[in-house]
Amino acid sequence: MKNTSLTFSLSLLLTFSLFAQTPDFSVYLIGDAGNDTVTNQTMTLLQQDALTKPNSAILFLGDNIYPQGLETLSKSEKKRRLSTKRLLSQVEPLKTYKGQVYFVPGNHDWKQGKWQGLKYIKEEARYVEEYFKTTEVSNRNEHTFIPQNGLPGPYSVMLTEKIRLIAIDTQWWLQSQFFHKTQKPEGLNRKQTTAKFYRELDSLLNAAKNNNEKVVIAAHHPMFTNGHHSNRLEPLRSLVNFMPLQFFGLIGLNRMLVQDMPQPRYHKMRTKLLNTFNKYEHLIVVAGHEHTLQYFEDGTNTHIVSGSGSKRTHINKNRYKAGFMNDMENGFFRLDFYNDGSVSAAIYGSTTGGLLHEIKLK
């Protein structure tokens, strides 16, 4: 009994000691923050914390502009102003931030999966990068919207000498439908582009392993979630995606369902990505898409959903065992990396106005 109490006390002491340390580097994770035309409480809370930590990076995890990305002036001046306001509500609070900022795209940035999505994603990238050139962020003269050029990636950047960020545009695989254009490297078709992507991803992860680097993989679509995007096959989805009514899927009706994990294209993408991730240990895979805060462990790898930057939806399933779930707060995660190689996650909620939970990563 004494030994058990002593072990528990030491464990508690080590936990408090870890969170009392000053992190060597921090990474903020906020997704789906593009619904408000003025800076909301969540973004204000993140700004207040991030401005005190210049040795950090902020990752916007897609759906940066609702409902259909950055409207072009040629379509509607009114819609353009409105979509610009939604983006400015996120970037204006960071004008004096001295850390790094990165945006990855989501399905809404791709014009909600509609025709001309590629044009919209390139326009958003252009706008974001031009804006940050006038700010104090440390990567203002480099790329802030990644991956580049409407390609799936993987796009790699070193946040520090020992922390690697790999950005993936998961919507690229879900976007390509009948009459819908996606970008491909010159001379490659879609299948060849996908094969090239997985070769490069495996090569990057292997290099990171050999260099003893921490890896954060950022994408919009999660690999694990207990929210509504994890819903199992339903009659409507089956009719749309499988014969004999696949015709309706080909003309774009399956945009309603392609954003859910059981949809065939999402399922295939998720399976291939997880097969690659699970060859390696201690990866941190972060995503938005679900408007909730969730934390999962898959072996030694961590999966985080931080998609409640401006919206909330309910967690209505318990499909995967979660280390943390919250659908009552808009908020964000902060990853803290320490000199001894340890990593912790701090979860913040704007309704509470502060820290909700802390987790020590494996």
Q: In the chain, where are the structural domains located?
A: 23-360
Q: Please give the Cα distance from 41 to 330 (Å, whole number).
A: 9
Q: Please give the Cα distance from 327 to 331 (Å, whole number).
A: 10
What are 250-273's pLDDT values in tens digits?
555 555 567 888 888 899 999 999
- What are the beta bridge partners of residue 296? 303
Q: How far is CA 350 from CA 43, 145, 227, 239, in A?
A: 9, 26, 20, 41
C-beta separation of 166 from 216 below 8 A: yes
Q: Please give the Cα distance from 346 to 360 (Å, whole number).
A: 9
Q: What is the mean pLDDT of each run of 10 residues along the chain (362 residues)?
A: 44 47 94 96 97 97 95 79 96 97 96 87 96 97 95 97 98 74 77 95 98 98 91 57 50 64 89 98 97 97 98 87 95 97 97 93 90
Q: What is the pLDDT of residue 5?
A: 47
CATH architecture of 23-360: 4-Layer Sandwich (3.60)
Give the residue among 52, 19, 101, 87 at the shortest CA–CA distance from 309.
87
Q: What is the pLDDT of residue 133?
A: 97
Q: What is the pLDDT of residue 112?
A: 86
C-beta separation of 286 from 59 below 8 A: yes
Residue 47: strand, helix, or coil? helix
Q: What is the mean pLDDT of the chain?
A: 88
DSSP letter at 23? Answer: P
| Alpha-carbon torsion (127, 132, 67, 182), positive or negative | positive
Q: What is the pLDDT of residue 95?
A: 95
Q: What is the pLDDT of residue 279?
A: 98
C-beta separation of 153 from 220 below 8 A: no
C-alpha Rg value of the chain to the nearest Å: 20
Question: What are φ and ψ of residue 267, in 5° steps?
Answer: -60, -45
Q: What is the pLDDT of residue 265?
A: 87
